[in-house]
Structure 1
Amino acid sequence: MANIYLIRHGQASFGDDNYDQLSDTGWQQARVLGRWLSGRVAPDVVIGGDMQRHRETVEAIASGYRAPFPDMQVATGFNEFDHASVVHRFRPEWADRAQMQAELEASGHPAKTFQKAFTQAVQRWVSGEYDSEYPETWLQFKARVVQALDDLVDWAGGGDVFVSTSGGPIAVIVQQLLEISDRKALGLNEVIANTSVTRVLYSGPRRSLAVFNNYSHLEAEDPELVTFR
C-alpha cells in the first residue's frame, strides 16, 4: 500500500496583520521536519492548499530535506475553513481587529481567551443551526475535503504523497476513516500539532489510518518547538 502523509502547516503568525504567513518558529518547525523526513521518505508527489502557510511549510521542508524535492502542486480542496468568518459570526465585534486585540489583552490570558471563543464559534458553525450565515457550511467543508482526498488518490496513481494542509482537513479525513462523530472530530482538531504528520495507507478505494499527529521530530530537536496554534 502507498502512503499519504498529511502534514499540518508550521505555526502561523497569530496576532500579526498577516496570520497566514509562518512565524519564525513555524519556519524552524518545518525545516526540522524536512531533516527528519530526509532519508526516510521520498515523496512521488507533493500537494498543498493554496494558503501562504501551506506553501511556506513546503518551502521550509524542502530546505531541510537535503535531497531533490518535488515541486508542490496546488489542490484547494485541502484549504482550511474560513476561521475569520466562523469567529466573526460568533463575535461580530471582533471583525474590528483592534477591538479584538484589546479585549484579548484585557483578559490577562489572550491565548486561552481566544481559544475558548474559537471553540464556541466552531461549535456554533458545526451545529448546522446557522448555515445561512456562513459562506461555507460545516457539511460543505467536509464534502470538499473528502472530495479532495478522493481526487488525490485517483491522481497519485499509487505513489507516496506529501500533503501540506491544516488541522481542519486532517480532522475531517480522520473522522471519515474512523467513522467518528463531529464532536470527536473537533476534539482531534484541537490537539493536532504544527508540522505533525498523519499517515494514511491507501490502495485503490481502500484507506486506513496508520499514524495520527506524530510530532516526535519536534520533541527530539527541542520540546519547546511543539505548538498547537
Structure 2
Amino acid sequence: MPAEPPADPTKYRRILLKVSGEVLMGEQGYGIDMKTVDTVAAAIKRAVESGVQMCLVIGGGNIFRGLSKAAGDMDRATADHMGMLATVMNALAMQAALEKIGVQTRVQSALTMNAVAEPYIRRRALRHLEKGRVVIFAAGVGAPFFTTDSGAALRAAEMGCDALLKGTSVDGVYTADPKKDASATRYERLTYQDVLAKDLRVMDASAIAMMRDAGIPIVVFSIRGEGSLRRVLNGEGPFTVISGQV
C-alpha cells in the first residue's frame, strides 16, 4: 500500500485538534477502543512529521459526561469534575498510543495530578510545541459548568493556533442530525454568527464566541475516515469551515 502524501505544512503551522470522546469508543458502546486510539495516533504522527505543531483536547463522553443520564440527580459541579477525570483517562490512553509509535507527548492537566500529568502552564506548553512535541490538554478548564469545547477554544487561543479542528463521527455541520434525518444537508462554510443564530450546537456558544473573538477558524470533519486528518490539513475532503466570513 503506497504511503500517504504528507500534509501541507504551509496550510497550518499550529493547530488544536479536538477529538470527541465518543470517537474513541470505536464500535463499542462504552469506554476506550485502543484500536481506534491507535488509528487516530497514527494520523497525528503523520501530521507532526509534516511539520505541523499539534495540540489536542479529548472529550470524556465515552466514559462519563456531567450532563448525562449517568449523572442522575448528582449536583452539576461534582458530575463535571467526574467528567474532567474521564478526559484525563482518555489523554493518558492517547499519550500511550502516540509514544508507542515514537511521538514525543506531554499531558497537561488543568486539575493538579502530578503523578500522571504536568500542571497546565502556558509557557511550558508553548515550549513543548516548539520542540515538536504533541501536547494533550486534559481536565477542560479545571472548573465545572464548562464543556471540553470551551476548554479546546481557550487552549487554541492561548497557544495561538491557526485553526481549531473538531474531529467527530460526522463529516461536518448539517442542517439537522444526518443520522436521524436523511434529508439533512452539509454546510460548506458558516460564520460564527450563523452557528449562534441557527443554534446549530456544533460547539457550545461560549466556545464559538471565543473563537470569533480570537479570529480562529473552526473546521469540523469526520476523523473516522482513513487519511481524513491529512486531507483536512491540505484543505481537501468533506468538512465545514466556521469563520468570520463565508
TM-score of Structure 1 vs Structure 2, range by shorter chain: 0.3 to 0.5
TM-score for the superposition, normalised by structure 1 = 0.39
Structure with the higher fraction of residues in helix conformation: 1
With a CA cutoff of 8 Å and minimum separation of 6, indicate the structure with the bigger relative contact order.
1
TM-score for the superposition, normalised by structure 2 = 0.37
